[in-house]
A and B are shown apart, each in its own frame.
Chain A
Amino acid sequence: MKLRSTAAAAAVVVLALTATACGSGSDSGSNGDKITIGIKFDQPGLGLKTPDGKYAGFDVDVAKYVAKELGYSEDKIDWKQAPSAERENLIKNGDVKFVVASYSINDKRKKEVDFAGPYFLTHQDLLVRADDNSITKVEDLNSKKLCSVTGSTSAQNVKEKLAPKADLQQLGGYSECLTGLENKAVDALTTDASILAGYASQKELQGKFKLVGLKMSDENYGIGLKKGDDELRGKINKALEKMVSDGTWEKLVKANFGPSGYKYEAAPAIQK
């Protein structure tokens, strides 16, 4: 008897929970007057969820600017976490209108989604301790202990092309690598310079680390959107062009990467 009522109660709870889950899950890219944009939640300098529940970083600022040009003010934006492995899925399923999340344009991704931009050019680089001058060229890496994030293109790059003999540690996130770097368990952390600069400019870490400045690859950050949506792509491209020409781009880059001394490149030309 007891069991039966428990089971019934269980069923009710489950139904209620799935119902709410479906209800909130069904809103896609843009319904009504809101827009959903995919960003990173855990990358300082690019896309970061801050303790007050807001979002900060260069990607976030670019997304806000573009949204404003598309006619959505800041309070009309729903931010959605877009982890690296999920970006194509989010776009294809229509969960987000577009993705601004350190999203490098490459041929493999172009098969699945379209890109507006690029809006930023960066390179794979190394972050080392501020007092470490032993790495000056790519070949130096072969005798070093490197750290990167599991499954990232930077990690593959090192293994396959740049320094196959380097001892590469792959961890779940950049913070883990930073702990090792700070305590000399690893010699360098490698990924896009923009991401590294974001960490290096954090107030707790300022002065502890520096970028080596090796340009080990070209990464053009684009805004990912649904394949074939040329109308949106055109609009975003126009917004990006305006952002560069009216000086906002320069201002945003300075604000987000300034403290690290990161030598960023001029705004790349939009690929029409």
Chain B
Amino acid sequence: MSSVLYDTPGPRAKRRNVVYTIVFLAVLALVGWWVLDALNAKHQLDADKWSPFVTDSQVWTTYLLPGLTETLKAAALSIVIALPLGAALGIGRLSDHRWVRVPVGALVEFFRAIPVLLLMMFASALYREFTTVSSDFRPLYAVVTGLVLYNASVIAEVVRAGVLTLPRGQGDAAVALGMRKGQTMLYVLLPQAVTVMLPALVSQLVVIVKDTALGGALLGFGELLSQNRQITANYGANTIATLVVIALLYIVLNFLLTTLASRLEKRLRRGRKSPSVTLPAQAGATDVKSEAVSGA
């Protein structure tokens, strides 16, 4: 699409593009130079602030890798619990019975409207007051609880949207075969919906990984970001260097997940005549996905 927005550049347009390129490059270079120069003037680029991450493998084994493990542990636990719960809620919202559909719908909408950070804080307070979960695990439990409640409701919506995109004939055919409602859902609708949903679900993993950082900043959860404090306490307050390294780790991890999601999407589109293909090609079935991604 983007290529139809402008003509193939002629000699004048080419010259103009070169000028734009140079101006833009100059602006970028200026900003970059200002940042680097200021950092250098404040001694933030000094070798001793950065060298621990290269020369001292203990920074990795004692802080960064255990932190990354905690991040992955919380993310994995959350998705593993939220997936079946979300599927159940999504199916519940599609139920023929009003007394199931309405309360489940209210529950899903409620947890989607509350910031996940508030859910985590509340869960943490509940565990502190009403359970004897030791302080080692309480932050993890609180983070996972908050993430599960929020993401289960998001997944419920993804599942519902996935089932609704299927052609009506699928359900009708199953009924005609004499399948019961549960069988129709389990053997006919869900397996097809899963292929439509899969990319959205992987994108949701990125959201979960990012949200674990909330627990580190505000609940004392020992994940990747929270290692910042312990590393800087050991290496003379090299906060900038540490933050850059930690941010890079997050970006690489999430970039891998995003790539996986788009690979999956491409493969599914090619492999199967899934309903999203029947939409106009440009519309690109972005509704389900964009919602999942922006629910950060």
Contacts and interface: CB of A to CB of B under 8 A. Distances in A.
B239 A86 contact: no
A94 B186 CA distance: 48
A217 B186 CA distance: 68
B230 A41 contact: yes
Contacts of A3: 84, 87, 186, 190-191, 194
Contacts of A90: 135
Contacts of A203: 236
Contacts of B236: 202-205
A184 to B, nearest CB: 9
Interface string A84-113: 011001100101000000000000000000
B254 interface: no
Contacts of B268: none
Given A51-B62, A53-B62, A14 B233 contact: no
Contact of B42 (A43, A173, A182): A182
Nearest to A4: B186
A174 B236 CA distance: 11
A93 to B, nearest CB: 6
A176 B230 CA distance: 11
Nearest to A82: B135
Contacts of B230: 41-42, 49
Contacts, number: 108
B240 A179 contact: yes
Interface stretch (B93-101, B126-134, B169-177, B274-282): B126-134
Interface string A150-192: 0000000000000000000000111110110011000000000
A195 B43 CA distance: 24
A49 B222 CA distance: 13
Interface in B156-201: 186-187, 190-191, 194
Contacts of A85: 220
A139 B43 CA distance: 32
Interface residues of B, number: 44
A94 to B, nearest CB: 9
Given A21-B137, A41-B230, A89-B135, A205 B237 contact: yes
Nearest to A12: B80
Contact of B62 (A6, A52, A80, A205): A52
B259 to A, nearest CB: 23
A84 to B, nearest CB: 10
Interface in A247-267: none
Interface in A59-98: 80-81, 83, 85-86, 89-90, 93, 95
A14 B87 contact: no
B152 interface: no
A90 B186 CA distance: 47
A52 B235 contact: no
Nearest to B43: A182
B293 interface: no
Contact of B233 (A13, A17, A44, A183): A44
B196 to A, nearest CB: 14
B83 interface: yes
B80 A48 contact: no
A92 to B, nearest CB: 10
Contacts of B137: 21, 25
Contact of B84 (A7, A93, A179, A202): A7
A95 B134 contact: yes
Interface in B59-81: 59, 61-63, 77, 80-81
Contacts of B128: 89
A10 B217 contact: no
B234 interface: yes
Contacts of A42: 229-230, 233
Interface in A6-60: 6-7, 10-11, 13-14, 17, 21, 25, 41-44, 48-53
A2 B62 contact: no
A182 B41 CA distance: 12
A121 B236 CA distance: 25
B191 A1 contact: yes
A137 B231 CA distance: 33
13 contacts: A2-B194, A10-B81, A10-B83, A10-B84, A48-B233, A51-B52, A51-B58, A51-B234, A93-B134, A93-B135, A172-B217, A173-B229, A175-B228
Given A44-B233, A90-B135, 12 more contacts: A1-B191, A3-B87, A3-B191, A7-B83, A43-B233, A50-B62, A86-B220, A172-B229, A173-B233, A178-B232, A182-B42, A204-B237
Closest 7 CB pairs of A and B: A204-B236, A175-B232, A51-B58, A178-B237, A7-B84, A25-B134, A10-B80
